[in-house]
Chains A and B, each alone.
Chain A
Amino acid sequence: GIQVEQSPPDLILQEGANSTLRCNFSDSVNNLQWFHQNPWGQLINLFYIPSGTKQNGRLSATTVATERYSLLYISSSQTTDSGVYFCAVEQGDNYGQNFVFGPGTRLSVLP
């Protein structure tokens, strides 16, 4: 099956710093989403981005489907950005939805 890798596994930043999180996947995908998991376990949708570039406030994401990677940019980080960021991909075959998640990047933003 498809493999999803995320880097770095852990990231510690000072408040106000910028960061780039990377997601590599091993096969073509029909769906790619970025999530932020809060301390209570809820997965919060950041981007639905199977290709192209999107921006939402201090966050932006780019997926280069032909090269099988996606990047999540966080600018001017805040302590509330702390948590685990997951990339999830779906190949979207006719057998139904099936997300494959990466292992996540644990981000800690220090005040």
Chain B
Amino acid sequence: KAGVTQTPRYLIKTRGQQVTLSCSPISGHRSVSWYQQTPGQGLQFLFEYFSETQRNKGNFPGRFSGRQFSNSRSEMNVSTLELGDSALYLCASSLGISWEQYFGPGTRLTVT
């Protein structure tokens, strides 16, 4: 069974631009979660989608948004990029609440 895939793997953007990251979950998984990892803050939860509905959201500004499609693939968008948005963005998928989560390889975003 194929694992969680994320595209692109690396991205360099300029302050003020916007970016869209993509995540394809494991086949059959309907829950997709997004996390941001930075050296200073560690791994922090962004949001979670299940059957195209955002069920949970972390403490991030409105510049961070996401969506999930009917095939469970998910995208997250960051608008008006700031230097502090430079991070590793990880996506995870699972069957649902309290089920084991599996992570993708991540997208490393650098904002200059």
Residues of A within 8 A of B (CB): 30-31, 33, 35, 40-43, 45, 48, 50, 86, 88, 90, 92-101, 103-104
Closest A residue to B49 by beta carbon equals: A96
Report B-chain residues with C-beta under 8 Å of the C-beta of A97.
31, 33, 48, 50, 55-56, 94, 96-98, 101
Complex CA gap A99/B106 in Å reads: 16
Contact at A41–B96, with CB atoms within 8 Å? Answer: no
B37 interfacial contact with A, CB 8 Å: yes
Instruction: Report how many residues on chain B are interfacial, defined by Cβ distance under 8 Å.
Output: 29
Report B-chain residues with C-beta under 8 Å of the C-beta of A41.
37, 88, 90, 105-106, 108
Report A-chain residues with C-beta under 8 Å of the C-beta of B35.
99, 101
Q: Which of A42, A45, A96 contacts B48 (CB 8 A)?
A: A96
Report A-chain residues with C-beta under 8 Å of the C-beta of B58.
98
B11 interfacial contact with A, CB 8 Å: no
Contact at B42–A104, with CB atoms within 8 Å? Answer: yes
Q: Which of A35, A43, A98, A103 contacts B56 (CB 8 A)?
A: A98
Complex CA gap A93/B48 in Å reads: 13
Contact at A98–B105, with CB atoms within 8 Å? Answer: no
Determine how close the nearest CB of chain B comes to the CB of A88; give it in whole angstroms.
8
Closest B residue to A45 by beta carbon equals: B102
Closest A residue to B96 by beta carbon equals: A97
Contact at A33–B100, with CB atoms within 8 Å? Answer: yes
Complex CA gap A98/B37 in Å reads: 15
11 contacts between A and B (CB under 8 A): A31-B99, A42-B103, A50-B98, A94-B97, A95-B55, A95-B56, A96-B50, A96-B97, A97-B96, A98-B48, A99-B35
